[in-house]
Each structure stands twice: as structure tokens, then as C-alpha cells.
Amino acid sequence: MNKIKNKKTFIGLTIILTLILLVIIVISINMGSAKLNLYTKGSDPFVYNAIIYNIRLPRILLAGIVGMGLSVCGAIYQCILKNKMADPYILGVSSGAALGATIAIITKSFISIKLLAFLTAILITVLVYIISKKGMKKNSTSLILTGININYFLTAIISLLMILNKDQMDKIIFWTMGSFASSTWINVIWSAIIVIPSTIIVSFFGKQLNAINLDEKTAKSVGVDVELIRKIMIAICCLITAMCVSSSGIIGFIGLMIPHFVRLVLGGDYRYLITLSGITGAIFLIASDLIARTIITPTEIPIGIITAIIGAPYLIYLIARKR
């Protein structure tokens, strides 16, 4: 049921969530293992600026972009795959990226970990899409099952590589659990170039997604090319997710939890759901990263642990609530 009655309500909610996002960003900038204040800036401006502009700010912005991307993709996959438990990693993106990162870490490749993770994520997703073909059409169930099986297969290969390369195991595990510790302005720029325009593009498909979400036969009867929309959405979400995973490692539950939360509170109209999910996802992941880097300073917890601790109980609650 749509709880947003008109565009004015949507604009008002967008403004409120954006203000919350800005507050979270300011709080995150000023909190961390290094205690910063105006005195610190006055006594040693070089250190102050280095911590704020070279470490914290790119990390916070990247967390926001990744949170936005994963949440938007989760909302779209849940619609086009007709499965409310679908998430951005369901088509093998995460396992593909993890395999690429593992190979890069083990071989100490001249190709960066992030680039190889991005390329293998794209490659594996395309492979899943090809394998799941049924005649000339793609069935959402076969897509999901193929993605799950490829995930299991690649996870087994990654585990084998870790056993054979125990000296690199810690690095691989830390990457696969997600972290923004190595964020740079280059990561932020590339992620923003892909995630933000892609999010804007998919937001224009709100009416078509509403029709598909209601019923595919009804959508076709009103002129929606369901197969074409599905292809476009999968291609865009694959690109977004591959960029997010290659930038931060694997961070679970965002794409599952945030769209459910927004749908529960604000309704399921995809004209509004995509934008609101994106902003809410950015807020949540920035806040989660803040917890990950401050809860037991100076040690940093992989952010995937924080999102799992919060996300798993919430999803159990949703399942119990909906039977």
C-alpha cells in the first residue's frame, strides 16, 4: 500500500532524509580514533586536514554511495525477480568480485584488487544470465537458482585458494567481510560516476516497475515490455553492485533490509521507493561504518559484521511478522 499520497509528501520526506544524511556525515567527520577539535586544527592544521580530507571524508562519502547503490539494487531486484528476499548479490556479483579480489591478493597482481574484483563481478553476472536462458527468454526463478549455485561454487573455489595460501588468508577474509578503510578520492569519484547517474536513470522507471510488481500480465496488457525492462534493470544493477562490491568488499543485508524498511514505513510505490531507499541506505551505511571504526578503537571491525548484527534480527522479525 502506498503511504505517500502526492509528490509534495515525497519531496518533504526526501528533504527530511537528506538533512538526516547531512547530520550523520557531520557527526562521522568529527568522530573517530583520532580526537579532533578546533584546538587540534589550530595547533597542527596539517594533521587536522590530512585526517579530515584524506581519510574520513572520502571514507564517509564512499560509504554513502555504496549504501545508496546496494539499497536501490535491492529494491529493484525484489521487484523484477518477484522475490522479496532478493538482494544485489543474488546473481553472483559478490562471489565474482570476491574471486577476483582473492586472485589479485594471492598473485599480487599488477591489476588492482578493486579493478579485478569489478571485472570478475561483471563477468560472472553475465555468465549467470547466459546460463539461465530458457529459449529466448529469461525466467526469474532460473536466474535466482543459477546465481545461488554459482555463488556456492565460487565460494568453494575461494575457500580452496585460501587454504592453499594461508599467508594471505587474513587479507582475503577482511576484504570479503567489507571495509572502507582503504577508501580514496579515486574510489569516491569512480563510484559516484557509476552509482549516482544509474540511480537517477532507474528512478525514471517507477511506473513500469509498479506495473511489474503488481502483475506481469497486467503490465504487458498496458504496454510495458517486461522482458526489456528486466534486462535494463539487471544490467544497470549489475554495474552498480559490481562497483560497490569492488570498492568496499562484501557488505550484506543492506539491499535486503533497507527496501523492506522503507516499504514498510512509507509504502511500495516505486516512483518514490527507489529514491527514498537510496537515501536511507546511505544514512544506514555511514552510521554502520561509524560504529565499525569507533566501537572498540583503535581496532576496526569489518563493516559486514555490523550490518549482519543489525540486519539479521530485523529480517527474522519481518519473516515472523509476515509468517
Pairwise CA distance, residues 128 & 105, whole Å: 24
- Name the pLDDT band for 170 (thresholds 50, 70, 90): confident
User: All domains of the chain, ordered by start, with CATH?
Assistant: 7-202+234-322 (1.10.3470.10)
Q: Summarize pLDDT for 63-80 with one digit per residue, the tens.
A: 999 999 999 999 999 998
Q: Are 175 and 249 in contact (CB under 8 A)?
A: yes
Nearest CA to 289 out of 59, 114, 71, 69 is that of: 59
Contact 181, 56 (CB under 8 A): no
Q: How far apart are CA 88 and CA 71, in angstroms?
A: 8
Q: Which residues contact 60 (CB under 8 A, 6 or more apart)?
A: 25, 28, 29, 286, 289
Indicate the average pLDDT of the chain: 86
Q: What is the pLDDT of residue 202?
A: 94
Averaged pLDDT for residues 175-198: 90
**DSSP state for residue 295 in the 8-state scheme:** T
Q: Per-residue confidence at 93, pLDDT binned at 50, 70, 90?
A: confident
